[in-house]
Amino acid sequence: MEDPPLASLSLTHVHYNPADPVSYVCAWLALVPQALCITYATLIWSTREAEVLLMFAGQMSCEALNWALKRLIKEERPRQMNGKGYGMPSSHAQFVAFFSVSLTLFLLLRHNPHAPHASPTHIPTSFAERALLSLAALASAAAVAGSRIYLNYHTPKQVLVGCATGAGFAMVWFAVTTYLRHAGWIDWGLDMRIAKYFRMRDLVVTEDLVDAGWERWEGRRRRRDGSVQEAHKKER
């Protein structure tokens, strides 16, 4: 029996021109969706935040929409293509457009770190800082989308449609999750036994992720410093 021919798992296989530095950078940009998926998984596991889970659910729904649209439209990639399958709309462009627009909507419209029940020791990022972060996300998404044209994986039209679809779906998803919040469905879900088992919470809307546990750590440090000072007084 001869060994069967081996196949290639081409999830991160990117063709580029090694003599072109821009092409090399674009090849790395092609890995951004995979990196974002790892970031999603890490944040969901480490923070247990409902908002992050909702955004990831929207991201996967957007991917399912892209899968359906490609098989419905059935438009081929560029003639001298470097990719397989259909090209309309660009999945990379749609992915990063959804992420960047969703992050922008959250930072500028939903994130409210000045809410009355926020941590009194918390110093949140300003609106200007959040706006700059949003611009950086949008610019990064544009770079990823542009790289698909530069590497000849998609036509400009396929990339533009992907960006428009991702951005539009992000707005729709934001409206849906806003309704779920106002209607009390998010609170209802967090009260379920399975949500409590996994310690799901909904703090990032009023607190930054970097604030998690900070107040508790500061209190522990103050108690420790107070104990040290008290010990020094007794020694004297």
pLDDT tens, residue by residue, 100-113: 999 999 999 888 77
Map tokens 């020694």 to a residue: 235
- Residue 16 falls inside a structural domain: no
Tokens found for residue 57: 């659910």
Please tell me the predicted confidence (pLDDT) of residue 20.
85
Is pLDDT of 152 > 60? Answer: yes
Task: Confirm if 63 and 96 have CB atoms less than 8 A apart.
Answer: no
Is the pLDDT score of 164 beyond 60? yes
- Can you read off the two tokens belonging to residue 127? 């609106």
Q: Is residue 93 part of a domain?
A: yes
Q: Give me the mean pLDDT over the 154-170 stretch.
A: 93
CA–CA distance, 90 with 30 (Å, rounded to integer): 12
Could you tell me the pTM of the whole model? 0.81
Domain total in the chain = 1
**Inside any domain, residue 26:** yes
Q: Is residue 107 part of a domain?
A: yes
- Average pLDDT over the chain reads 84
Residue 137 pLDDT > 90: yes
Whether 130 shows a pLDDT value over 90: the answer reads no
The CA–CA distances, whole Å, from 68 to 62, 99, 148 equal 10, 19, 20
Host domain of residue 45: 21-235
Residue 9 placed within a domain: no
Pick from 12-26, 95-109, 188-202 the range whose average pLDDT is largest: 95-109
Q: Is residue 163 part of a domain?
A: yes
Q: What average pLDDT does this structure show over 110-120?
A: 63
Torsion of CA 171, 109, 125, 99, to 10 degrees: 0
pLDDT for residue 83: 57
Q: What pLDDT is attached to residue 143?
A: 94
User: Does residue 46 lie within any of the structural domains?
Assistant: yes
Amino acid at 69: L
The confidence band for 223, taking pLDDT boundaries of 50, 70 and 90, is confident
Q: For residue 5, is it within any domain? A: no
Of the two residues 217 and 59, the one the predictor is more confident about is 59
pLDDT at residue 212, rounded to an integer: 60
| pLDDT at residue 186 greater than cutoff 80 | yes
